[in-house]
Amino acid sequence: MSASAESAPARRGRPGYDREQVLAVAVELFNEQGYDATSVADLAQRLGLTKSALYHHFDSKEQLLALALDEALGGLEGVLDAPADADPAERLAAVLRGAVLVLVDRLPYVTLLLRVRGNSDVERAALERRRAFDHRVTMLVTEAQSSGSVRSDVDGPVVTRLVFGMVNSLVEWYRPGGAIDRDRLAHDVVTVALDGMRTR
Amino acid sequence: MSASAESAPARRGRPGYDREQVLAVAVELFNEQGYDATSVADLAQRLGLTKSALYHHFDSKEQLLALALDEALGGLEGVLDAPADADPAERLAAVLRGAVLVLVDRLPYVTLLLRVRGNSDVERAALERRRAFDHRVTMLVTEAQSSGSVRSDVDGPVVTRLVFGMVNSLVEWYRPGGAIDRDRLAHDVVTVALDGMRTR
DNA sequence: GTCTATAGACCGATAGAC
DNA sequence: GTCTATCGGTCTATAGAC
């Protein structure tokens, strides 16, 4: 870029916020209180602004939700689009590991995504993209079953949902900066998903 | 019991609803739309009643939530209180299996419980009971690690959260009456939790 | 780019008739 | 045990001054 700051154009006048910063605070608050239970006034208060100042940055509360969900979905879709080669078992492990890392790196956004129930057009569109992602992962698992690397005594879609249920449940308790770092977490998840908790 | 019906006293006058029926419909609606996003007017409409008629059955919207959460928590706590003997590995498998069955048998109530975020005194009390349950399960897992039946290369609390995250994720997709019955589901979950998805 | 003020709808809950 | 009517409060969003 040119002069002054990194990527955003230099700020003038009052400090203020840019869209990205407002979005980050909004998502944090939505996750604390729930999207529906969070009013625009709540958000304005946390930012130290008035409601009207916020509406200068965004058209609606729902637009904030849409941008946040896109951030999460884009990350997850990137995990499937990225690699490609190697056998199904290795691809599956890479997707599992990648999903954990995206979840950790975009934790607030993915957390919000996983709580969406389809209560509006924006939410239903996000659920549709999630379903498409799940479908692609399921195909990968059934492929791995055919090649003999994933057990076939449990239905493919069922084992996919179980393992990704485990991954997604990370948003309920994992917090970056704690005792366990992102790579250790990804390793533990892949270990338990592939080989279970029992000793052999 | 004495004469007439099974447990509730015989209905007189207009058909109406009893507390249990109203609660069941309320929980269904809370799960569809979210607790906060569901108004008492929404619930009245689904029941074909007015708001005032509903307030004859209940003191507040929050009381409905409290009763529903108690239904779920009571079931889960019963799983830990029930058996007792055998070695840690068998006890752990029994708790896993029991949790799946309670989740299936009280699906709407457990679903609602798992979405609670602690936004009121009622919700915080429910979260506290959940934490106590999780703590007892974690102790069981670390005990099984000591006896050598559960892998020790992953932290005990972490493997507990991962496996119960998998169990809890069932509320996101499992629906009774589908292709997979409750016992088959419990078997599949215990299989994947203990031995993972990979073939050996 | 922020502010004050407010429109217009909906919220949970209550009063009181039948 | 249901109804109509309404209270006081909060919601999202907008108008318009500075």
Render pLDDT for A99-131 as a digit per residue (tens, 0 to 9).
999 999 999 999 999 999 999 999 999 999 999
Q: What integer pLDDT is reported at residue B71 of this predicted model?
A: 97
Single-letter code of the amino acid located at A95:
V
A44 Cβ contacts chain D strand, under 7 Å? no
**Which among A197, A198, A199 is the top mutation candidate for probing chain B, defined by the most B β-carbons within 10 Å of its own β-carbon?**
A197
The strand D neighbours among B residues 52-111, by Cβ under 7 Å, are 52-53, 56-57
Q: How many angstroms separate the CA atoms of A32 and B36, rounded?
A: 13
CA distance A194 to chain B (A): 5
Average pLDDT over residues A132-136: 98
Q: What integer pLDDT is reported at residue A101 of this predicted model?
A: 98
Q: How many angstroms separate the CA atoms of B194 and B2, rounded?
A: 49
Taking any CB pair shorter than 8 Å as contact, residues of chain A touching chain B are: 32-34, 36-37, 89, 115, 117, 119, 141, 148-155, 158-159, 161-166, 168-170, 172-173, 180, 185, 188-189, 191-199
Does the pLDDT at position B137 exceed 50? yes
Q: What integer pLDDT is reported at residue A173 of this predicted model?
A: 98
Average pLDDT over residues B72-78: 98
Q: What integer pLDDT is reported at residue B25 of this predicted model?
A: 93
Any idea what DSSP says for residue B181? -
Residue A11 vs residue B178, higher pLDDT = B178
Residue A19 vs residue B129, higher pLDDT = B129
Nearest to A161 among B152, B153, B173 (CB): B173
Q: CA–C1' span, B45 to C13, in Å?
A: 17
Contact between A166 and B163 under an 8 Å Cβ cutoff? The reply is yes
B38 → chain A, closest CA residue? A36
Burial pattern A62-75, b for ≥16 Cβ within 10 A else e, equals eebbbbbbbbbbeb
Q: Rounded to the nearest 5°, which phi and psi values hold at B82?
A: -60, -80
DSSP one-letter string for A76-103: HHHHHHS---S-HHHHHHHHHHHHHHHH
pLDDT digits (tens, 9 = 90+) for B153-169: 999 999 999 999 999 99
pLDDT band at A9; cut points 50, 70, 90: very low
Average pLDDT over residues A187-200: 97
> Percentage of chain A surpassing pLDDT 70?
91
- Nearest CA to A16 among A47, A43, A46? A47
Q: Which residues contact A141 (CB under 8 A, 6 or more apart)?
A: A92, A150, A156, A157, A159, A160, B197
Contact between B64 and B17 under an 8 Å Cβ cutoff? The reply is no
Contact between B175 and A183 under an 8 Å Cβ cutoff? The reply is no
Average pLDDT over residues B121-128: 97
Q: How many CA atoms lie within 13 A of B94 on its CB side?
A: 16
Alpha helical stretches, state H, A5-153 = 19-33, 40-47, 51-57, 61-81, 88-105, 107-114, 121-146
The sign of the torsion formed by the CA atoms of B29, B35, B37, B39 equals: positive
Q: How many angstroms separate the CA atoms of A182 and B171, rounded?
A: 27
